[in-house]
Homo-oligomer: A and B are copies of this chain.
Amino acid sequence: MTAMPRIERALQDAITRAEAAGAPPRLGAALRHAVFPGGARVRPMLCLAVARACGDDRPELADAAAAAIEFLHCASLVHDDLPCFDDAATRRGRPSVHAAFGEPLAVLAGDALIVLAFETLGRAGFAAPDRLPRLLATIAAATGMPHGIVAGQAWECEPSLDLSTYHRAKTGALFTAATLAGAVAAAGTADAWSLLGERLGEAYQVADDLHDVASDAEALGKPVGQDAAHGRANAVHRLGLDGAVRHLRGLVAEALDSIPDCDGSAELRALIGAQAKRFVPTSLATRVAA
C-alpha cells in the first residue's frame, strides 16, 4: 500500500475507535472535523518515507507513529485557532473547530487528539514493545516542554523571544520527530535522519511565512496576513520576498543533501522534491523558477 492510504487508514481507524459506543457524539464529530479531510499530511508522509528508507520491517508501528504525529499536528491547529490565540474562523477552507463546535469542544478536541496520539502509539507498541519507549520519547519531546510545539506556541506569551528557538520548537520539532520516529519505528539509526527533519522544518516555516504574505485566503483555506496582525516575526519581513524564496530553496537543497545513502533514498528525494514544489505560493512560482 502506498503511503497516503496507509496514513488515512491509520487515522480513520483511531478516530473510529475514539467514537465508539458511549462516546459524547459532538466531541466525536469535532475530532473528525479536525482531522478529515486533511491537508497534504506532510509530516506523516515524511515519517513513512523515512521508515521505508530504513526497511519498514514493522509497518504497523510506522503507521502508528505517522498517525500520532498527524494527530498532534491537528491538535495544535485546533488550539492555535482558539479565540485566545489566533482567533481564526477558518482552517483548510472550512470553519475552524471552535467556529463549528464552540470553544469548549475545541479545547477538548485538542486534548483528546493529544491523548489519541499516544494511545495510538501504545496500541501498536504491543507488537514491538522494545521500540515503544524510544518512539514515545521522540514524539513526546517534539510536542511538550521544554522544546516541543506546545513550548513553541508558549513563546508567543513571553515578553521576548529568540526567533530561531521559537521556530525550532513551534514548527521544526514535529518535522524532526517525523524523521526520527520513522527511523525508530523501523529500527533505523535515528541520528542519521535528524538534519533532514530540521532543514525541512525550517523550509516549511519559511513556506508558511511566504503563504501568509503572498496567498489569498480562499486559496490557502485560512486567514492570511496573520503574522502582521498578531505582530509575529515573518521571514518575508526579514529577508524580503526574493530573499525568503532563495532561503527556502537553500534549505530544501540542504535537506536533500542530508539524506543518508540507503535503498529508499532515491524515492525519498523524489518525494521531498515534489513536496517542496507545494511550499511556494502559486503567485510566486515564476519567481522561484527564475
Contact = CB atoms under 8 A, between A and B. Distances in A.
Interface of A: 17-28, 31, 75, 79, 82, 84-85, 101-105, 107-108, 110-112, 114-116, 118-119, 121-123, 125-126, 129-130, 132-134, 136-137, 140-141, 143-148, 150-151, 153-158, 161, 165
B114 A122 contact: no
Contact of A144 (B101, B112, B150): B112
25 contacts: A19-B145, A20-B146, A22-B147, A23-B145, A23-B146, A26-B158, A27-B150, A27-B151, A27-B154, A27-B157, A79-B107, A79-B108, A82-B107, A85-B107, A102-B157, A110-B111, A115-B145, A118-B118, A119-B137, A119-B144, A122-B137, A123-B133, A125-B133, A129-B129, A132-B132
Given A132-B122, A144-B18, A156-B104, A115 B150 contact: yes
A275 to B, nearest CB: 27
Nearest to A101: B157
Contacts of A144: 18, 111-112, 115-116, 119
Q: How many copies does the complex hold?
A: 2
A111 B118 CA distance: 13
Most buried by B among A31, A102, A114, A156: A114
A7 B257 CA distance: 47
A84 to B, nearest CB: 4
A60 B108 CA distance: 31
Contacts of A21: 146
A140 B141 CA distance: 18
B114 A114 contact: yes
A118 B104 contact: no
B112 A115 contact: no
B146 A123 contact: no
Contacts of A147: 22-23
A233 to B, nearest CB: 15
Most buried by B among A26, A85, A105, A140: A140
Nearest to A85: B104
A101 B158 CA distance: 11
Contacts of A134: 126
